[in-house]
């Protein structure tokens, strides 16, 4: 296994919030990371409903208004942050693809081979 890569600091994600990580060559986040206390869940930034469609509506704006779910703003699909399962919307029952991350010493780490190929940073 290759050495883990630092993706961001834990304190760069508001507790309960989400940020976009691992930008592609055009600066678009390929990974979405949600924080729940000291735990971070990371997901490929692609909606299972339609290929090419990214979650959210604005840079780092990925959560529904109540802050309970990740949202695909194209058609309103909601995903549970913990297991990525779509609980309402077009792709109900489908799940986001997990990107494995760990938190060590306040840093969110990912395995390079597990990160989207199109991510440049």
86, 74 Cβ separation under 8 angstroms: no
Which region among 4-12, 31-39, 88-96, 113-121 touches other proteins (by CB under 8 A)?
Answer: 88-96
Determine the 3-state secondary structure of 95 from DSSP.
strand
Residues 8-67 that bind other proteins (CB under 8 A): 26-27, 53-54, 56-61, 64-66
Closer CB to other proteins, 75 or 100, in the complex: 75
Residue found by looking up tokens 């990107």 in the block: 99
Determine the 3-state secondary structure of 106 from DSSP.
coil
* Binding site residues, other proteins, CB under 8 A: 26-27, 53-54, 56-61, 64-66, 71-76, 78, 88-90, 92
């Amino acid at each position: 296994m290759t050495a883990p890569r630092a993706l961001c600091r834990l304190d760069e994600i508001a507790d309960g919030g989400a940020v976009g990580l691992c930008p592609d060559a055009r600066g678009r986040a390929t990974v979405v990371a949600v924080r729940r206390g000291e735990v971070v869940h990371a997901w490929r930034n692609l909606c299972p409903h339609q290929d090419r469609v990214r979650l959210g509506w604005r840079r780092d704006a990925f959560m529904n208004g109540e802050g309970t779910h990740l949202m695909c703003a194209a058609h309103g699909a909601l995903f549970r942050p913990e297991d990525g399962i779509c609980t309402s919307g077009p792709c109900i029952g489908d799940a986001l693809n997990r990107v494995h991350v760990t938190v060590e010493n306040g840093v969110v780490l990912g395995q390079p081979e597990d990160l989207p190929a199109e991510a440049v940073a």
